[in-house]
Amino acid sequence: MLKIEDLHASIDGKEILRGINLEINPGEVHAIMGPNGSGKSTLSSVIAGRDIYEVTHGKITFDGVDLLELSPEERACAGVFLGFQYPIEIPGVSMVNFMKTAVNEHRKYKNQDPLSASDFLKLMREKKELVEIDSKLTNRSVNEGFSGGEKKKNEIFQMAMLEPKLAVLDETDSGLDIDALRIVANGVNKLKTSENATVVITHYQRLLDYIVPDFVHVLYKGKIVKTAGKELALELEEKGYDWIKREF
């Protein structure tokens, strides 16, 4: 589904990603871990198409399409979802209006007719239940005045609405208490199918108790330096990153 080959990317002339190789297939859950500043968030931003990063070398293909040729909104419509580490507030824009616009843009991309208001509200109710999000949140402006936990839940709700093929969740666990963590993780697990894939970017092993990865990658100095099964996460939790740093 997603294939990253020798990806190099920089910001303001400073190279952050230095040759990433990664392949993700449908039905898989990948965890990307690594110490601060190793390039985890940069990788997710580059996949999503944030233009402050410059891709200097390498390729990203998504379902056989050159992803780097697509605009951020085209990537989104093609099925790439980014769960933001710091979800953005948009004052005055209601969640309903925001999601309706987003869902209908996705539908337009697939040559489907826009949803009627009643169908849309029905869909929204279903998805709210699925991810156990408080109805009040969707009546408010996008992320405005949301707590840290509410913002993260809202990301998962949006993911549920847009049904992406590939979801990249950037530090979704940061700032969550244990209850919120469980809700977020349950949401992700419920949305998992054999057709889609999830990339979980995280600092801590904790989240991986709930979202069990098939693969764990360690990102360090812009490269994936180690890949293994879920047991790697436990090892990292126990030993920290120092041994990795020593190795490379």
Partner 1 sequence: MSNKENEQEKILNEVTETDYKYGFVTDIENEYIPKGLSEETVRLISAKKNEPEWLLEFRLKAFRHFLTLEMPDWAHLNIPEIDLQDVIYYAAPKKKKELKSMDEVDPELRATFEKLGIPLDEQKQLSGVAVDAVIDSVSVKTTFKDTLAELGIIFCSFSEAVADHPDLVKKHLGSVVPYTDNYFGALNSAVFSDGSFCYIPKGVRCPMELSTYFRINAANTGQFERTLIVADEESYVSYLEGCTAPQRDENQLHAAIVEIIAEKDAEVKYSTVQNWYPGDKNGVGGIYNFVTKRGICRGDNSKISWTQVETGSAITWKYPSCILKGNNSIGEFYSVALTNNHQQADTGTKMIHIGKNTKSTIISKGISAGVSQNSYRGLVKVLKGAENARNFSQCDSLLLGDKCGAHTFPYLEVDNRSAIVEHEATTSKISEDQVFYCNQRGINTEDAIGLIVNGYAKEVLNKLPMEFAVEAQKLLQISLEGSVG
Q: Segment near partner 1 (CB under 8 A), from 62-70, 92-100, 169-177, 236-244?
A: 92-100
Q: Judged by CB under 8 A, which stretch of 60-68, 103-111, 199-207, 236-244 contacts partner 1? A: 103-111
Asked if 197 and 191 touch (Cβ cutoff 8 Å), the reply is no
106 near partner 1, rule: CB under 8 A:
yes
76 binds partner 1 (CB under 8 A): yes
User: Closer to partner 1 at the Cβ: 31 or 159?
Assistant: 159
Q: Answer yes or no: are the C-beta atoms of 197 and 22 closer than 8 Å.
A: no
Contact by Cβ (8 Å): 198, 29? yes
105: contact with partner 1 by CB under 8 A: yes
For partner 1, give the closer residue by CB, 88 or 178: 88
Measured over the CA atoms of residue 178, residue 183, residue 188 and residue 189, the dihedral's sign is positive
| Pair of tokens at residue 242 | 């120092």
Under the binding rule (CB under 8 A), the answer on residue 167 touching partner 1 is no
Q: Least distance from C-beta 117 to partner 1, angstroms?
A: 14
Among 101, 135, 147, 193, the residue binding partner 1 under the rule CB under 8 A is 101
Contact with partner 1 (CB under 8 A): which of 38, 154, 158, 196? 158
- Residue 53 touches partner 1, criterion: CB under 8 A: no
Give me 114's structure tokens: 């826009």
What gap in Å lies between CA 80 and CA 78, rounded to an integer? 6
Is position 210 an interface residue for partner 1 (rule: CB under 8 A)?
no
Among 10, 61, 141, 174, binds partner 1 (CB under 8 A): 141
Nearest Cα to Cα of residue 174 among 201, 146, 145, 214: 201
The reply to whether 204 sits near partner 1 by the rule CB under 8 A is: no
50 forms part of the interface with partner 1 (CB under 8 A): yes
- Applying CB under 8 A, what is the total number of residues that bind partner 1? 29
Please name the helix (run of DSSP H) or strand (run of DSSP E) that holds residue 168, with its range, or none.
strand 166-170
Report the C-alpha gap between 95 and 24 in whole angstroms: 31
Helices (H), the chain: 40-48, 72-78, 95-109, 117-130, 135-138, 148-162, 178-191, 206-210, 231-239, 242-247
Q: By the criterion CB under 8 A, which residues form the site for partner 1?
A: 48-50, 52, 71-73, 76-77, 81-82, 84, 87-93, 97-98, 101-102, 105-106, 109, 141, 158, 162
